[in-house]
Amino acid sequence: MTDANATGDFSDREWSDEPQAVFGSDPKLVQEIYELEKNVEAMFNKEFLNNPGEIVRRHYSKNIDVSFVDILSPGQYFGKDVLNWWEWIGSQFVGDLWLRNMRIYARENTGFVYMNQVYQGDHGGEKFLWVMRQTDVVEKQDGEWRIMHTHLSFAGDPVELDPASWKLDFEYKPRPLPWDAAEKGEGYGETPVEFEKHD
């Protein structure tokens, strides 16, 4: 496995592999949750194609309320369908995956992780790069941290109000904050979106 800093053009981005504790989190618990996520990352890159469901069996909650929200339609899976989805989609993955820029909240037996999932590879001679936003909600169950909920998403560039015209930002390139861009008259996308103001 190569590192995300070593492949592709990442010169305009900063990728950190160090977890950042947020909201006054317990550093020991933050480290434990970080290790959970790094185990998931390692499993994805070493054994996902041969045994995709093992990540769910080993690191996701066994509770019927476990959930996974994917970028691929229909996109929402609950209970046993989380495992069914991973088993079904696993053989179609052809790239390497890294979890970067982890911001971790941890208190007692509960926490969450906001991070970037970097997925990069070569499919049929064509290189691809997806940078997604990923949020995991975790809970310590029987002494082990387990993922209760995962949510993946891409950033969208709202060129117009019609979502059908939005461009997905697969590479999550840095861009100015919307209010800074508006101040400079640059707009956020190609054309600034005018949102209705409410009293």
Q: pLDDT for 26-76, tens place per residue?
A: 999 999 999 999 999 999 998 887 888 999 999 999 999 999 999 888 889
Whole-number pLDDT of residue 4: 42
For 25-44, b/e burial (b = at least 16 CB within 10 A) is beeebbebbbebbeebbebb
Q: Are 144 and 157 in contact (CB under 8 A)?
A: no
Whole-number pLDDT of residue 9: 53
Closest CA to 150 of 135, 131, 130: 135
Q: Which residues contact 21 (CB under 8 A, 6 or more apart)?
A: 27, 30, 104, 105, 106
Whole-number pLDDT of residue 108: 95
Whole-number pLDDT of residue 179: 75
Instruction: Give the pLDDT mean for 168-197.
Output: 64
Whole-number pLDDT of residue 5: 41
Whole-number pLDDT of residue 164: 77
Whole-number pLDDT of residue 94: 79
Instruction: Give the pLDDT mean for 84-97.
Output: 86
Q: Are 114 and 135 in contact (CB under 8 A)?
A: yes
3-state SS, residue 54 = helix
166 CB burial (10 A radius; 0-12, 13-18, 19+): middle
Phi-psi region at 190: left, alpha or beta (left = phi > 0; alpha = psi -120 to 50)? alpha
Instruction: Give the pLDDT mean for 159-176.
Output: 73
| Length, in residues, of the chain | 199
- The CATH code for residues 20-153 is 3.10.450.50
Whole-number pLDDT of residue 33: 98
pLDDT in tens, 100-139: 999 999 999 999 999 999 988 888 888 888 889 999 999 9
The average confidence (pLDDT) of the chain is 84
Dist CA 73 CA 32 (whole Å): 32
Q: Is the pTM of this model over 0.85?
A: no
Dist CA 28 CA 183 (whole Å): 42
Lay out the sheet containing 76-78: strands in order across: 20-21, 95-107, 110-123, 126-141, 144-153, 67-69, 76-78
Whole-number pLDDT of residue 123: 82
Structure token digits, residue 143: 């002494």
